[in-house]
Structure 1
Amino acid sequence: MSVEHDITETLDVKGMNCPMPVVKTKQTIDELNVDEVLEVLATDAGSMSDIDGWTESTDGVELLEQVDADGVYKHYVRKTDA
């Protein structure tokens, strides 16, 4: 069940495979302000672990939630001030 997030921007990377979902997520999150939330829509199942791993090892981002919605993987990433 998805929690509602105050989404600032949606990034559609459906059809892209590793490493592009993470690369595009990083490029887009860099353009956001602190506390803004990026929704990433992907079809690559590997994006679940890839984006999780990227947020764990990267300062300034926080993974809020990941949802598998019938083959579309939704990731909610918040930019932090770290």
Structure 2
Amino acid sequence: MEIKPDIVHDATGTYCPIPITELAKVMKKAEKGQIVELLADDEGAIQDVPAWCQTTGNEYLGYKEEDGVYHFYIRKV
């Protein structure tokens, strides 16, 4: 199944905690039900993004890796 994001945010080239702080800013602007795709190349984000979603109550839809870039998918609830 292909996930179609409403918002794509590129946080590549940044390291913890920047991808998460960037995600938090984007999620504040997103509307309920929208899907955000976060691009990051920091391996720490693999654990950080799902943990952030669990803490904030947003829905973590998963991630895929392409050429060293992680594509995380989060639905705003």
TM-score (norm 2): 0.94
If each structure's helix is expressed as a fraction of its own residues, which one has the higher value?
2
Aligned-partner residue type, residue 64 of structure 2 = V
Root-mean-square deviation over aligned CA pairs:
0.9
Which residue in 1 is equivalent to 2:62?
Answer: 65
Offset at 1:7?
Answer: 0.9
Percent identical among aligned pairs is 30
In structure 2, distance between residues paired with 1:79 and 1:53: 15
Q: How many residues are aligned here? A: 77
List alignment gaps of at least 5 residues for structure 1: none
TM-score by length of 1: 0.88
Deviates further, 64-73 or 23-32 = 64-73
Structure 2: segments with no counterpart, 5+ residues? none
Runs of 4 or more above 4 Å deviation: none
Hey, what does 1:30 align to over in structure 2? 28
Distance apart, 1:6 and its partner CA: 2.4
Of the three residues 1, 6, 13, the one matched with 1:15 is 13
Query: What amino acid sits opposite 1:69 in the alignment?
Result: E
